[in-house]
């Protein structure tokens, strides 16, 4: 894939690249479909319930049926809504979620774009989804939607700052914003991964990432007990499906990014295990990150909005700044 990108552009390799993009899109859509299924099964297992059981073997076709139901459901638009923005909002929320995946390296040779500012690209594009959520809340002409959209904007902007600052230490250690360079800077033994020298940054990153995903215990924008369903309360059918799709594509993206930044990417935990393909190691680490997000949802209660904002500004932001300072001091000391 990388060799294809580096070649002089022709219609032939352009079509090949487009074909790979379409294949990857279907892979991500397959992940979303069965991530929802496995989330329901995992949470059911943790809470002594069964989860989906009726449709297909072990209920495996339940999510497919749910998606089909959303696609054929009536598409309604409120009479006094801003029609153009109402239609555009789900697209703005989803497109960046898929676009950020272009810079994720899955192995040393498998990846779409090796940008020298890959991490900056990820942070910049993921922020655009906030605009889609705010537009959805405002364009619906519904007070509950507007409150959900504004709450989501406040939450995502607040946690975007410590999320970005938490990885500055890694950038300083590697001297690059390229995700491939960051992975290559980690060795084939788990103690050489960024997880250990940047354990504080890792903890800040995980908490901020869960909040950025609007997932439990930080799912305040969709607090149904207060806001009916939050910013997407007026959406139905496939437009509602776009918002859910964006959320689970971001689960894919943030799990892949965590694997790349802190867990060694495609590197094995021990050098002796290097015979196992790197893609398999990446998938195993990625799957653990996805399972961790499901585990949190099954375990923790939703926190209050004032606790959410206090955690972001009064706890995570100072810790992230302190981590940058300590990293800089350590690099200065050990570089001599």
- pLDDT value for 226: 61
The residue assigned the tokens 């001297």 is 175
- As separate numbers, helices (DSSP H) first and strands (DSSP E) second, the chain gives 14, 0
* Residues 171, 177 contacting (CB under 8 angstroms): yes
| Pick from 97, 35, 94: nearest CA to 66 | 35
Average the pLDDT over each of 3-12, 41-50, 212-221 and give the range with the smallest value.
3-12
Enter the pTM of the model: 0.90
Peptide bond into 217 cis (omega under 30): yes
pLDDT digits 0-9 by tens, 163-189: 999 999 999 998 889 999 999 989 888
| Pick from 61, 40, 60, 57: nearest CA to 49 | 40
- By residue count, the chain amounts to 336
End-to-end, the C-alpha distance of the chain in Å comes to 40
Q: How far apart are CA 52 and CA 58, in angstroms?
A: 7
What are the start-end ranges of the H helices in 110-215? 118-139, 143-166, 168-174, 179-184, 199-212
Query: Is the confidence at residue 270, as pLDDT, over 80?
Result: yes
Residue 30, C-beta contacts closer than 8 angstroms, at least 6 positions apart: none
- pLDDT value for 292: 94
Residue 140, C-beta contacts closer than 8 angstroms, at least 6 positions apart: 78, 81, 86, 146, 231, 233, 234, 235
Residue 322: other Cβ atoms inside 10 A:
12
Q: How far apart are CA 117 and CA 121, in angstroms?
A: 6
* Residues 146, 138 contacting (CB under 8 angstroms): yes
pLDDT digits 0-9 by tens, 145-170: 888 888 888 888 889 999 999 999 99
| Pick from 226, 215, 239, 214: nearest CA to 86 | 239
Query: Sorting pLDDT into bands at 50, 70 and 90, what band is 141?
Result: confident
The residue assigned the tokens 């939450």 is 155
- pLDDT value for 166: 94
Q: How far apart are CA 288 and CA 291, in angstroms?
A: 5
pLDDT digits 0-9 by tens, 12-54: 777 877 888 888 888 888 899 899 999 999 999 998 888 888 8
Give the side-chain half-sphere CA count within 13 A for 138.
13
| Residue 107 burial (10 A CB sphere; 0-12, 13-18, 19+) | middle
The residues spanned by each domain of the chain are 1-72, 76-335
């Amino acid at each position: 894939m990388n060799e294809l990108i580096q070649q002089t552009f022709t219609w032939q390799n352009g079509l090949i690249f487009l074909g790979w993009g379409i294949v990857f899109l279907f892979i991500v859509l397959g992940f979303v479909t069965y991530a929802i299924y496995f989330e329901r099964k995992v949470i059911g297992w943790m809470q002594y319930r069964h989860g989906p059981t009726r449709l297909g073997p072990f209920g495996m076709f339940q999510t497919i049926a749910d998606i089909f139901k959303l696609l054929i459901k009536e598409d309604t638009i409120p009479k006094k809504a801003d029609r153009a923005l109402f239609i555009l909002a789900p697209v703005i929320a989803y497109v960046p979620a898929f676009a950020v995946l272009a810079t994720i390296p899955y192995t040393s040779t498998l990846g779409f774009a090796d940008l020298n500012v890959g991490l900056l690209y990820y942070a910049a594009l993921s922020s655009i989804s906030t605009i889609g959520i705010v537009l959805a809340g405002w364009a619906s002409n519904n007070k509950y939607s507007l409150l959900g959209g504004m709450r989501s904007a406040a939450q995502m902007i607040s946690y975007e700052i410590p999320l970005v600052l938490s990885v500055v230490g890694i950038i300083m250690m590697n001297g690059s914003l390229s995700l491939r360079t960051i992975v290559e800077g980690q060795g084939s033994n788990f103690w050489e991964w960024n997880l250990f020298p940047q354990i504080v940054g890792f903890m800040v990153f995980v908490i901020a990432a869960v909040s950025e995903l609007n997932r439990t215990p930080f799912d305040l924008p969709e607090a149904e007990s207060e806001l009916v369903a939050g910013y997407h309360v007026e959406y139905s059918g496939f437009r509602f499906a776009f918002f859910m799709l964006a959320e689970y594509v971001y689960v894919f993206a943030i799990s892949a990014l965590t694997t790349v930044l802190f867990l060694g990417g495609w590197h094995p935990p021990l050098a002796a295990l290097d015979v196992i393909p790197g893609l398999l190691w990446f998938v195993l680490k990625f799957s653990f990150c996805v399972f961790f997000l499901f585990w949190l949802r099954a375990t923790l209660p939703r926190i209050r909005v004032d606790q959410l904002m206090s955690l972001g500004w009064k706890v995570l932001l100072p810790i992230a700044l302190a981590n940058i300072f300590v990293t800089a001091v350590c690099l200065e000391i050990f570089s001599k």
